[in-house]
Structures are given as structure tokens and as C-alpha cells.
Chains A and B, each alone.
Chain A
Amino acid sequence: MKTKINVEDLNLWYGSKHALQNINIKLNKNKITALIGPSGCGKSTFLRCINRMNDLITAAKVEGKIVIDGKNIYDKDVDEVSVRKRVGMVFQQPNPFPKSIYENIAYAPIKHGLVNKGKACDKLVEKSLISAGLWDEVKDILHNPGTSLSGGQQQRLCIARTIAVEPDVILMDEPTSALDPISTEKIEALMLELKKKYTIVIVTHNMQQAARVADYTAFFHMGDLIEYDETETIFVNPKEKKTEDYITGRFG
């Protein structure tokens, strides 16, 4: 199994609060890793470390290494914008730009200089929407506002937008918590398709979702990584009592 993201001795403080404590974990390439744990356990904080989103919080201080494809993204010579281009993110609430469906996809690739307006851009928009499983539903309404789509479609639009800049890693922070079961299933099926090309890390409160889609699961508790293993092991034979208590609903 090839490691895509190697996290070494990662610590994070929000002011005086030690939110992540000495996290060591290797995330595998082309696999889905789910981060689970009770609210406030540090899973979203950890997710945001992977594309340096925590740099936007002044009180946040990070120590340790996150090595992606051999390069520590916290090295001084690494620009956080280039990190976020390689490590895309999908949020809990679908958040399309107040622009057309087409522009939602085309905006970032044009800004990053990946394509120019015109045929190449049209192709990229089509390719991204196909990859996100949305093309057939929107191909005739590309110039309608992104916000006119349903919640599930908007979330797939956000995934298409993430894919458009050709990242290596996709981070998903509770991507289906605002969606109905049908839209959730579409997103989950999409994740299973996307992992063929991307490495996916997902934060979820829905343990069934972690069980269904993730190859690996990491359980966090109070800023500690308690257990990390194949999802089957975590859900059938967890090694740590805390993990078992959490997944069986005895706390959290």
C-alpha cells in the first residue's frame, strides 16, 4: 500500500488549548480514510491541517510534519495556496459561488492558469461535471445559477469544482450531513468512483457512512488519535475499548 500523506508528530494549539496531540498517521493513496469521533475531538481540525486551512486562524499554532508525496506541506518554502490546489476540500454545507454552474467550475482553473476561456475550458467543465456524476442533469442548464440546483446537486457541483483544479487529495468535512438519503447515496457512490483517481479523507459523524465507504477509519478522542486501522477491523474487532464504546454508542 502506497502512503500518500504521512503525518508525523502533529500538534495543534488554539491559543492555550492543545487541540491535537502528537498525531502520527499514514494515509494511503487511492483509499478513503474516514475520521470519526465525538464533537470537539479534533477530527475536523486535523482535516483542516491537511490543506493548511488552519493557517487562516490567527490563534492556531501547528507543530510537526504533514508530508504529501515526500514534501512537508508546512515547510517554509511551501505556499499554502499551492497546497490547497493540490488538496481540495468539500464542506458540510454545499457552498456554490453565486455564479452560473459553468462559472462555478471554470473559475478556479482559469484563476490558477490551468486553462484559458474557450474550448479547453468547456472541456474541463464537462469532464469535471461527468466525474462528479452531474453532467447529465445539468448539461442543458449550464448557465443557470449554481444555487438553483437541489442540495445534493449543489454538493456534487462543489465536488466537480474541487476536481476541476486536478487535486491529488480531496478532503470532505461531513459532506452529506445536510443531504437526504438519496443524495447521500449518490455522493457515497461518487466517492467510491473518485477514489480510483484521488486520495479521499472524510470527516463524518455518521458511522454507518464511514463503515460503508471508507477503506480505513481513524478514531479521534479529545485531540488524540485513539485507533487507526482498516474499517472492517474498526467496526468488527476494534482493539481499543474507547473505540468500541464509541462505535457501539456507549459515549459521544
Chain B
Amino acid sequence: MLKTFERMSETIKDEVYIMGQKVVVANELSLEAITSKNVKLFSKAKNELNNISHMSNKIDNLILRALALHQPEAKDLRQMVSYLKITNEIVRAGTNTKSFIKNFSKSFHKEVDFDTIFEFSIPLQKSSIEAIKTSIELVKMYDTQEIEFSFQKVLVEENKTDDLYAMIEKALLKKLSSKVELSKYYLDILSSLRRLEKVADRAASIANLLVFAHLGGELHQA
């Protein structure tokens, strides 16, 4: 491949990584907002995601250009197709993060039992962050073993978020039945926590696409 394509490919990879980091940082800030009870950090987290659609468009256009001008084959082609789909996954992960922040921050009510919620939501959030962080780190990996190990790690964290969400759903539905007047708050919280589980789903999809890019096989949606 010509150096011009290699440079283009590296730029795309770097931009995908930077874009992914925005989602990681936004999720880390929202976890910090909860653990430190500093609500201001939620808006800082939201700000991280302000430019994400613009970044996605920019990367997609770079990919379009690379495909049109260089007609990559094999691994190069797999990478380009994967990145094109990954930008969409990162945008979706960002949208889920924003929804989590919005719904969770508006459900603060003094009578809501946040001790029970945090018992599950913090581990859920941590797993979700671990999943998205690891999947974005995969962008910069070259070693097959390292890639496979990280891919498995993402899947484990994603499974954990499924389980933790199921547990918190059960616990909150119990609470909801005992305090119907707070049902709106509990349902908002549930809805927001569901978003964290979806962030982990997107992380699994990103990891899956990166494994396809590196190792080949069939392209399929996770």
C-alpha cells in the first residue's frame, strides 16, 4: 500500500480513538459525579460529548475518501468498513451516555432509596466503563493475543452489566410497588441505568468489529 493510504489509515484510526475516548471520559465523569455526589460533573460529562456527531461525520468522510481513492483490500478493507460502523456505535454509546446523565440527574428525590440503587448502579456503571474503555483501547492494539484477551474482557464486562441490570430491575420494581408515589423517579432511574447497559452493548459491538478488522472472518452485528 502507498504511504498516502497508510497515513490516511493512521489518521482515521487516531480520530476513532479520540472520539471513543470522549465517551469513556464522559462515563468516567458521570461515575465520579455519583460517587463524589458532585452533580456539576454531570454537565462536564455532557460537554465531553458535544462534538461527537461532528467527529463522526469527519471520520466517515475520511473513510469514504480512503475507499474511493485507494480501494483497500483484505485487512485494509476490513479496517475501513469496521471503522465506518464503529463511528456509528460510538455515537450511539455517546447518546446512551447523555440519556443516562439526563434521566439519572433528574430523578434525584430525597425519598428515593439511593443506597439500594448505588449498591447495584455503581458496579453497573464501572462494568460499563470498563467495557467501553477496553473496546476503545482495542483500536490501538496490534498483537493478536492481546486483542483476543481484551475482546473476552469486553464480553465479560458486558455480561456483568446484563446481570447487574437484571438485579437492579428486580430490586427497584420491589421498591416501586411499595412506594407507588415515587414510581416516576424509580422508572426514570431504571430507564437511565438501562442506558448504561446499552453502552456496554455498544462496547461489545465495537470490540467485535475490531476483531473482524484484525483477524478477519464474517462481518456481523453483535
Contact = CB atoms under 8 A, between A and B. Distances in A.
A192 interface: yes
Interface string A230-252: 01100110000000000000000
Interface size range on A against B: 10 to 19
A196 B64 CA distance: 26
Interface in A199-245: 208, 211-213, 231-232, 235-236
A189 B65 CA distance: 19
B5 A212 contact: yes
A208 B71 contact: yes
Interface in B42-64: 64
Contact of B68 (A188, A189, A192, A235): A235
A212 B70 contact: yes
Contacts of B1: 185
Interface in A166-187: 185
A235 B69 CA distance: 7
A211 B71 contact: yes
Contacts of A188: 2
Q: Interface centre among A185, A188, A211, A231, by most B CB within 10 Å?
A: A211
A231 B2 contact: no
B3 A212 contact: no
A208 B70 CA distance: 7
A189 B4 CA distance: 9
B4 A212 contact: yes
Interface of B: 1-5, 64-65, 68-71
Given A211-B69, A212-B69, A232-B69, 8 more contacts: A188-B2, A192-B3, A211-B68, A211-B71, A212-B4, A212-B70, A232-B65, A236-B64
25 contacts: A185-B1, A185-B2, A188-B2, A189-B2, A192-B2, A192-B4, A208-B71, A211-B68, A211-B69, A211-B70, A211-B71, A212-B2, A212-B4, A212-B5, A212-B69, A212-B70, A213-B2, A213-B4, A232-B65, A232-B68, A232-B69, A235-B69, A236-B64, A236-B65, A236-B68
